Amino acid sequence: MKTDTVRTGGETAQLPQAVETRNPGQPLDMDWVMSAQANRSAIERRAATIGTRRSVKKAHQAAWLLKAISMIDLTTLAGDDTPGRVRRLCAKAAHPVRAELLEALDMPGLTTGAVCVYHEMVATAVEALAGTGVPVAAVSTGFPAGLSPYRLRIAEIGESVAAGAREIDIVISRRHVLTGNWQALYDEVREMRAECGEAHLKTILATGELGSLRNVARASLVCMMAGADFIKTSTGKESVNATLPVSLVMMRAIRDYHERTGYRVGYKPAGGISTAKDSLTYLALLKEELGDAWLTPHLFRFGASSLLLDIERQLEHYVTGHYSAGYRHAMG
């Protein structure tokens, strides 16, 4: 396993980085799916301790925040998106922190994990990011509700891949989870994975609409069995998006899948994660539940649009001793 070395103010912190074999999926195992349970009270007690028990300071905090930047899917999913807005977002993804701050932190070349847009903006984003190494992720399959005709949802994946998207964020049919039709969910995700080809598949569970943490656990397993490269909490459009209890359930499903199959599946919390402190809390949970192997953009992403702004402000405070007003920073 390779490591990233981050030097901040003369101190050195090493963070792991790994290149993973893609999850090929496996036949649907209903015994395994139906055995998945979730004790809500125990899960909520465990999740409540994450943000209070540990904290990182100074150089170590700066190192973790730099790592968090490399894991952001910088996102714009608005009805009034324009090519100009997407190009500005791509410029921010390629240069997420001002050059003088990165120079002081000895981290030249830092980028975000990806840029996430609607299909109509994929070609614009691919052109804007050419030569940067930053991939384009496209939300697909009738995002955010996933209720467009099935053949069109499949076709949309193919169109986005053809336009240059290297990652596809699909939304599952929530009704399959709510009615317990796990075979239908498996077949749907399996076909979508096949349509992605070499592009990586992130399955959005829309956990706030699944009714229970047990359903979240079972849906997570089914999507992984169907070949998902990532499982993702939310579209960001639901009334309840990423939460620590849901993250704990999904991470433990990922751990269970890895222990049984040997394949690592990525995790992406999305929606409502907007502060540097939030990012550190999620990374602490990730490290404790899944271990250092997941501390890489190959296996963890934040779905966010405003998180980068606060992280940049915290890094400026670390370097200069002063907080910067938000209006001084480019769009994030």
Task: Considering the candidates 67, 92, 202, 232, report the single residue annotated as catalytic.
Answer: 232
H-state helical runs in the chain: 30-35, 40-53, 58-69, 83-94, 99-105, 122-128, 150-162, 174-178, 182-196, 213-225, 244-261, 276-290, 307-320
Whole-angstrom CA distances from 320 to 25, 246, 316 are: 48, 37, 6
Task: Considering the candidates 67, 202, 268, 310, report the single residue annotated as catalytic.
Answer: 268
Task: Considering the candidates 73, 92, 169, 202, report the single residue annotated as catalytic.
Answer: 169
| Beta carbons of 157 and 203 less than 8 angstroms apart | no
Helical packing angle, 244-261 and 213-225, nearest 10°: 40
- Residue 202: active-site member: no
- Residue 73: active-site member: no
Residues 6+ apart with CB under 8 A from 207: 216, 233, 234, 240, 242, 243, 246, 250
| Residue that has been written with the tokens 């053809």 in this structure | 162
Distance of alpha carbon 96 from alpha carbon 99, whole angstroms: 9
| Beta carbons of 164 and 196 less than 8 angstroms apart | no
Q: By three-state DSSP, how is residue 281 classified? A: helix
Distance of alpha carbon 219 from alpha carbon 203, whole angstroms: 10
For residue 332, give the H/E element and its range. Answer: none
CB burial of residue 240 (10 Å; 0-12, 13-18, 19+)? middle
- Residue 187: active-site member: no
Distance of alpha carbon 280 from alpha carbon 292, whole angstroms: 14
Catalytically active residues, by annotation: 169, 232, 268
